Amino acid sequence: DKYQRSDIRIQVRDKNGKQATVVFSVRYKGGQWKIYDVSFENVSILSSYRNSFDTEINQGGIDKLIAKIKTMKGNE
């Protein structure tokens, strides 16, 4: 692997005091640390999207996936 990688773990609490772990997975590229994934209580956003994207491609092809991504981007 040509990139340095690291995980940054933080603990967050809700207003009731319940604690949860958030992990920012980062890599060093181009002179900067960049986040490439975020996990909340061991659920990876990257993995979740990957599974969703696989489903879209299997059901409707790459064009359906691209249309979905464009819709998501428009809702930011």
Residues 49 and 35 in one domain: no
> Per the confidence metrics, is the pTM higher than 0.85?
no
For the record, the structure tokens of 67 come out as: 């249309």
What's the rounded mean pLDDT across residues 28-39?
Answer: 92
Residues 24 and 56 in one domain: no
For residue 65, what pLDDT is reported?
82
User: Within this chain, do residues 24 and 52 fall inside the same structural domain, yes or no?
Assistant: no
Q: Is the pLDDT of residue 22 over 90?
A: yes
Cβ neighbours of residue 46 closer than 8 Å, sequence gap 6 or more: 25, 36, 37, 38
Average pLDDT along the chain: 87
pLDDT for 5 equals 94
Strands 4-13 and 19-29: antiparallel
Tell me the residue range of the domain where 49 lies. Answer: 44-76
Query: Are both 34 and 48 inside the same structural domain?
Result: no
* Residue 68 scores a pLDDT above 90: no
Whether residues 34 and 63 share a domain: the answer is no
Nearest C-alpha neighbor of 72 from the set 6, 64, 37: 64
Same domain for 60 and 74, yes or no, is: yes
Question: What whole-number distance in Å separates Cα of residue 28 and Cα of residue 16?
Answer: 36
Q: How many domains does the chain have?
A: 2
CA–CA distance, 69 with 76 (Å, rounded to integer): 11
